[in-house]
Amino acid sequence: MDPIYLYQIEHENNFAISIGKSDVLLKTPGGNIFSSFNEEIIENTIYELQRYDRIEIDENDSITGEPLGDIRFYSLFSTELDFWSEERLLEAKQIEDALSSDPITNISPGPEAVDQYHQWRSILKILEDQNINFSAIQYYVKDKKEIQKILNKICEDFNSGSNAHKSVFINLLNMYESLIASWAFTYQGQSASAFATAFTQTGIFQMVLQELVNDEIENLKPEDYEDDELFEVDEKDYDRISNQKKKEFFEEFLTVLDSCQKFIDISVKPPLELTLEESLTHEYKSSFRMPYPENPKPLVDDNDQTYYNLDTKKFKSLKEVYKYIERQSLKTIVGFLNTKGGTLVIGVNEKDNIKKVVGIERDNYKSSEQYERHLIQQISNRIGTKFASDFISIKTNIVQGNSVCIIDCEPYIPSGTQIPALLDDEKCYRRTGPRTDEVKQGRPFAKFVAERKGDN
């Protein structure tokens, strides 16, 4: 199928790719729908696929053939969706064999070592900055203390990184078989040119380069040349072919690494919702139910009763604390519905205009899907099912390695005998600048209802 017949569409509050003008959606090799809240991921995937003369779609609606073998947006995001969309940890023992066969830990015993030391200087500098002795991680070293140190560091960076970083690391490791170089590029800021330069002095590079040169020489054979005759080119032509293939191989490295870096940059770029300040239509909450940064300490009053203080309020139990925090988010949602709409971002601590991504993981739900279902249930039960289904949309983004929940609210304007949105069928709230204020019962509420209906 010609890649020009791939189209970007909206699918379940995300962006996806349709195969032709049909309802069939492109999938990953693992069978997941290739969709993302990040429109740039989808745009760049289509752009890169369109650069191929032809692409093939298999019976499972995923791409097969050449595009899948290249490290590009399709393979990178497919890896993320198929393997790293849920919480998975890397352990040192899982990568120990990869380190022992790493070209960076197998420095040549002969004179080539001088050139390797020189061309690997960017990696050596990164190891030095991490207090890791390069000589002590070589394959022939019997004392494994330094090897364990680098393994632990790689696992630490991997496990704390974003899914996009994990995907890049895994793809580079599979393609170039260097644990250290893949880690240095993905997590330690090694440049693409430094990565590619380092690889020109590895056995893998030299072996593949020689194969490319031999194939080119083979192509120069005349059609009537006897296979059993030795075909040779002169030294000048051999050097020309070798230099050309080396240049092409080096450029291929740069293309792959540039695509990886672009994928990371686009993936971890904060969504617009995390760049705005708190206002009439925008607010941040650290969590939906857990105090930040930790639970308040239990105190004992004069009657020997345990209590907890939070926001100058006194609570008899942590359960009451959690319900109070939930109520703050639900109040904000009601306020948005009853004013001009707005966005509540949960998982970000905001103080003095400084935002820190703390993640919804603190609320201790098994998955983002379970978290979203709980939110929808709370909104349905305590504000109203029609609001949950018709006026509110919820999505979860990964930002700086943490999940952030974004709740978008449309403004609700009652008509006829309808009244504004209420929390627990009794409390009415509205937004006043960056605050959520209660609309008192009686005359204030009647006036507010009249104003809202007047907005029709």
Classify burial at 346, counting beta carbons within 10 Å of its beta carbon; exposed 0-12, middle 13-18, buried 19 or more: buried
Q: Do 133 and 29 share a structural domain? A: no
Query: For strand 342-346 and strand 282-285, is the pairing parallel, antiparallel, or unpaired?
Result: parallel
Last residue of a domain, one of 83, 116, 133: 83
Report which residue type is found at 235: E
Q: Do 302 and 228 share a structural domain? A: no
Residue 184 makes CB contacts below 8 A (sequence gap 6+) with 122, 123, 126, 190, 195
Instruction: Look up the pTM and report it.
Output: 0.67
Q: Indicate the SS3 state at residue 223.
A: coil
Q: Do 49 and 146 share a structural domain? A: no
Q: Do 141 and 97 share a structural domain? A: yes
Q: Looking at residue 388, what is its pLDDT? A: 94
What tokens does 15 get? 């962006």
CA angle 145, 114, 253 (to 5 degrees): 85
pLDDT per residue, tens digit, the chain (456 aa), is: 444 578 899 887 688 999 887 889 999 999 999 998 888 999 999 998 888 877 888 889 998 887 777 889 999 999 999 886 556 788 999 999 999 999 999 998 888 889 899 999 999 999 999 999 999 999 889 898 999 999 999 999 998 888 899 999 999 999 999 999 999 999 999 999 999 998 888 887 888 888 888 888 878 777 666 665 566 778 888 888 889 988 988 898 899 999 999 999 998 887 777 888 999 999 999 999 999 999 999 999 999 999 999 988 999 999 999 999 999 999 999 999 999 999 999 999 998 878 888 999 889 888 888 999 999 999 999 999 999 999 999 988 877 768 899 999 999 999 888 999 999 999 999 999 999 999 999 999 999 999 887 766
Helical (H) or strand (E) element with 103: none
Give the sign of the dihedral formed by CA 164, CA 149, CA 184, CA 100: negative
Which among 14, 24, 22, 19 has a CA at the least distance from the CA of 77? 14
Q: Do 391 and 286 share a structural domain? A: yes
221 is in which domain, residue-wise?
Answer: 92-268
Q: Do 252 and 334 share a structural domain? A: no
Q: Do 281 and 253 share a structural domain? A: no
Q: Do 402 and 309 share a structural domain? A: yes
Domain count along the chain: 3
Give the sign of the dihedral formed by CA 105, CA 109, CA 115, CA 121: positive
Q: Do 260 and 121 share a structural domain? A: yes
The CATH number for 298's domain is: 3.30.950.30
Q: Do 338 and 256 share a structural domain? A: no
Q: Do 216 and 147 share a structural domain? A: yes
Distance CA 77, CA 27 (A): 11
Distance CA 112, CA 340 (A): 69
Residue 220 makes CB contacts below 8 A (sequence gap 6+) with 231, 233
Last residue of a domain, one of 56, 83, 110: 83
Q: Do 309 and 251 share a structural domain? A: no
